[in-house]
Chain A
């Protein structure tokens, strides 16, 4: 901003060009539209989904593995791209697998066609029985 132009006439207060008014109307209508659409079509679904995710996560940390497994299964069936659910389901399979190869393979199946960050791989490895760690490392090299 500059303080020049005293010889110019000042702009009339509260009188704005048409295009500025149109711009402000567009901004306001955009806000109205996006908020109305969000609360009408999406909000309740997102809150419900978030609640289920929280319940599943809580059950996992409370060692209620069956409940957690069911909830994550339901979440994954609703959204096949839900990566966190795949990771937790794999971890649940690893936890209950002990030395059971079948459960271990089921856990691996949940991780198909996904890429994982180093932290995610380390987290999954922490739930693996010792027997399967070498095989897991060979598949998911950090």
Chain B
């Protein structure tokens, strides 16, 4: 029987690929050597991974490990923007003008939600940063440790699947909410 985690990784493989590419990209920006990247391994427990050299620089560690959270989230918001806009305006029941628009929209929705689903850092990513932050004893590092530790929720079996889906859903609604939310309706619809 195919385990849910592997099946979900297979279905959301664009997000997995983007996640690993982002790690590699931030390694390049941070001038940290990357030795190997495996962007897609369907049906494996770890769908993708990258090996890179160690660094003690917290900023570099942060961006290498958290890069996917930033980039995948942005890609999710952009690709799901049209559908999210329809949901925000309350007009998602309207049929598409042409049938081919529906296929493009659903394809973009799938890619966007996959990116959003795979945005969260893995436990390895979190451990990498915590290893550097824990050595610094101040209020800021304590707050960072708390926030990063809470992200482990997204990697717990079953609870994590739901949490990630909810996160992707929130990303889908976020940009349209800020652009076409209540203030837009107040400003545009009442004038």
Name A's B-contacting residues (CB within 8 A).
1-6, 8-11, 13-14, 16, 20, 23-24, 27, 30-31, 33-35, 37-38, 41-43, 45-47, 49-51, 53-55, 79, 81-84
- In the complex, the answer to whether B91 meets A11 with C-beta atoms within 8 Å is no
Shortest Cβ distance from B102 into chain A, in angstroms? Answer: 10
* Chain B residues within an 8 Å CB radius of A6: 35, 53
User: A118 CA to B185 CA in the complex, in Å?
Assistant: 29
Tally inter-chain residue pairs, CB-CB below 8 A.
Answer: 125
Q: Is B149 an interface residue (CB 8 A)?
A: no
What 8 additional pairs, Cβ within 8 angstroms, besides A3-B51, A10-B33, A43-B85?
A2-B49, A8-B36, A16-B21, A23-B21, A27-B75, A34-B108, A50-B90, A55-B189
Q: Is B188 an interface residue (CB 8 A)?
A: yes
Range, interface on chain B: 35 or more
User: A26 CA to B179 CA in the complex, in Å?
Assistant: 26
* Chain A residues within an 8 Å CB radius of B94: 45-46, 49, 79
Q: Contacts A24-B21, A41-B97, A82-B93 hold; do A1 and B52 have CB atoms under 8 A apart?
A: yes
* Chain A residues within an 8 Å CB radius of B125: 1
Which of A3, A27, A33, A51 is B53 in contact with, Cβ under 8 Å? A3
Q: Would you give 6 A-B contacts (Cβ < 8 Å), ordered by A?
A: A13-B28, A24-B21, A27-B75, A31-B108, A47-B188, A50-B89
Which of B28, B36, B65, B96 is A14 in contact with, Cβ under 8 Å? B28
- In the complex, the answer to whether A53 meets B101 with C-beta atoms within 8 Å is no
Closest to A14 in B: B28
Q: Render B28-60 as a binary contact track against A, CB cut-off 8 A, 1 for contact.
A: 100101111101000000000111111000000
Q: Contacts A30-B107, A50-B185 hold; do A38 and B85 have CB atoms under 8 A apart?
A: yes
Which of B90, B105, B180 is A53 in contact with, Cβ under 8 Å? B90
Interface core residue of B52, B65, B75, B180 (most chain A CB under 10 Å): B52
- In the complex, the answer to whether B49 meets A34 with C-beta atoms within 8 Å is no
Shortest Cβ distance from B67 into chain A, in angstroms? Answer: 11
Shortest Cβ distance from B185 into chain A, in angstroms? Answer: 6
- In the complex, the answer to whether B28 meets A46 with C-beta atoms within 8 Å is no
- In the complex, the answer to whether B128 meets A23 with C-beta atoms within 8 Å is no
- In the complex, the answer to whether A37 meets B104 with C-beta atoms within 8 Å is yes
Q: Is B119 an interface residue (CB 8 A)?
A: no
- In the complex, the answer to whether A46 meets B86 with C-beta atoms within 8 Å is yes
Q: Is B98 an interface residue (CB 8 A)?
A: yes
Q: Render B1-36 as a binary contact track against A, CB cut-off 8 A, 1 for contact.
A: 000000000000010011001011000100101111
- In the complex, the answer to whether B91 meets A49 with C-beta atoms within 8 Å is yes
- In the complex, the answer to whether A1 meets B23 with C-beta atoms within 8 Å is yes
Q: Is B165 an interface residue (CB 8 A)?
A: no
User: A3 CA to B86 CA in the complex, in Å?
Assistant: 44
Interface core residue of A30, A33, A81 (most chain B CB under 10 Å): A30
User: A79 CA to B86 CA in the complex, in Å?
Assistant: 15
